[in-house]
Amino acid sequence: MKIQDLHSAFLANPSISTDTRKIKENDIFFALKGDNFNGNTYAQKALDSGASLVIIDEKEYFIDQRTIIVDNVLTTLQQLANFHRKQSKVEIISLTGSNGKTTTKELINAVLSTTHKTIATIGNLNNHIGVPLTLLRIQQDTEIAIVEMGANHLKEIEFLCSIAEPDYGYITNFGKAHLEGFGGVEGVIKGKSELYDYLTTNKNSIFLNADDPIQLEKLAAYTKKYGFSTENSKYYNITLVEVQPFVTIKAEGSIIKSNLIGTYNFPNCCAAIIIGKFFNIELNKIKNAIESYTPDNNRSQIIDKSGHYIILDAYNANPSSMKVALENFGSLKKDQKVLILGDMFELGDSAMEEHQNIADLALDLNFEKVILVGENFNRTSTKSIKLKNFDDLNVYLKESKLKPKSSILIKGSRGMALERVLDVI
């Protein structure tokens, strides 16, 4: 079947599923494969669950006229998404970076949705499957799509750009994330900058943090750029007023009080402001959108539990995000500060060095108690409390109660699932 014919079928039933457990009536099921599953084997189940069509790439699972056989299901999904994107009049803003992508995406969407019909990546569905699924949510009346792009190796952002064909782009930052796949920080910069490469080649607009020397240098000769800065008068000026604990900003004389903690969220808010201004949204609407946004899903959430002040930032972690989180926590005017840190993943040969750096920083900041959890942290040389896994943490917290009214920062990579500690505290 040609992509345009599949697209016609999609327009008749514009809902995609890749999981038979979540199929809705008339969904089109794409039988994707993974390391431990073969979606083709679920073709019959998909139809029984209400799917209108199933897309497979193994002939032995053909059922009837509701079954479409293609060479590769994943490639077909990506081609369909690109075709659908090309048929729409939507403007696409692509977003990547080492840290802060999802929060920035949510802020941009909150701002732009005040005056435009928008869609945005759900959660962090930002890879070679998630980006196509986001594009296939574009409807006839969608005006702007904010598409988050994640990557852990070179050429991945380049490939995602070939699918989404963004009109605009923003890189949050270049940090120590996915070092194993990128081969080091220089690889991270090169990989994330593939978004710049696409946009400059196509003479599209770029949003930038003009206080970031890497972004400023890379875009020095490029003219179609729109940025923010705390001091460079060539760009839109925004001031950080305070972070105690929430980020408060001043723009055009107006004070914006966010519900986001940490100086690291300041540029995320700034990006939403400058993009809102670019799309001619009134500052008052931008202010209301940012002030109304509250983080969730384990991202810098403020939780009051058992009398403790808890910052739950357990969605993910890498050396860059861990460092700024610790420094921000150290600057807060709070008593009895306790750190519970989990291992950082995908660091390759740098893992031991980076975990030691964070362990040293935690001691230097003089917190009342530092609890390090995971195999990598357990191998560090430190006077802090070291525990091999979550079960050990569970036992420790039950046996060694935290002091009343402690202030606690919980942060670690997604695989550590440190949000579970809330059930113990």
Q: What is the mean pLDDT of residues 90-114?
A: 96
Give the strand pairing for 236-243 and 246-251: antiparallel
> Quick check: 1 pLDDT over 90?
no
Q: What count of other Cβ atoms lies within 10 Å of the Cβ of residue 305?
A: 12
Q: What count of other Cβ atoms lies within 10 Å of the Cβ of residue 367?
A: 20
255 shares a domain with 163: yes
Give the integer Cα–Cα distance in Å for 104 and 397: 34
> Quick check: 278 pLDDT over 90?
yes
Q: What count of other Cβ atoms lies within 10 Å of the Cβ of residue 223?
A: 8
Beta strands across the sheet bearing 16-17: 16-17, 28-30, 53-56, 67-69
Q: Name the residue type at position 324.
A: V
Tokens matching residue 425: 């505290």
77 belongs to a structural domain = no
- Which of 267, 292, 317 delimits the end of a domain? 292
- Which of 292, 326, 353 delimits the end of a domain? 292
Q: Express each pLDDT in 191-236 by its tens digit.
A: 999 999 999 999 999 999 999 999 999 999 999 999 999 999 999 9
Q: What is the mean pLDDT of residues 160-181?
A: 90
Q: Name the residue type at position 199.
A: L
345 shares a domain with 400: yes
| pLDDT of 181 | 75
**Where in the sequence is the domain holding 318, given as residue range(s)?**
301-423
Is-contact 295 313, C-beta < 8 A? no
77 CB contacts (<8 Å, ≥6 apart)?
A: 16, 30, 32, 55, 129, 132, 133
247 shares a domain with 101: yes
| pLDDT of 17 | 96
Give the integer Cα–Cα distance in Å for 337 and 367: 5
CATH number of the domain where residue 182 is located: 3.40.1190.10
Q: Decide: helix, strand or coil at residue 338.
A: strand
CATH number of the domain where residue 45 is located: 3.40.1390.10
Q: What is the mean pLDDT of residues 67-79?
A: 97
80 belongs to a structural domain = no
| pLDDT of 244 | 84
Above pLDDT 70, what percent of the chain? 100
Residue 230's closest CA among 206, 249, 204? Answer: 249
Please state the domain count of the chain: 3
Is-contact 260 295, C-beta < 8 A? yes
| 400: confidence class by pLDDT, cuts 50, 70, 90 | confident
| pLDDT of 187 | 86
Instruction: Tell me the β-bridge partners of 409.
Output: 311, 339
Residue 77's closest CA among 130, 156, 20? Answer: 130
> Quick check: 298 pLDDT over 80?
no
404 shares a domain with 285: no
13 shares a domain with 142: no
79 belongs to a structural domain = no
Q: Express each pLDDT in 313-359 by its tens digit.
A: 998 898 988 999 999 999 888 889 999 999 999 899 999 999 999 99
> Quick check: 180 pLDDT over 80?
no
| pLDDT of 178 | 76
Cα radius of gyration (the chain): 23
User: 32-63 burial, b for 16+ CB within 10 Å, e for fewer?
Assistant: beeeeeebbebbeebbebebbbbbbbeeebee
98 shares a domain with 47: no
Please provide the average confidence, as pLDDT, over all residues in the chain.
Answer: 94
Between 31 and 177, the more confident residue is 31
313 shares a domain with 190: no
| pLDDT of 355 | 97
| 417: confidence class by pLDDT, cuts 50, 70, 90 | very high
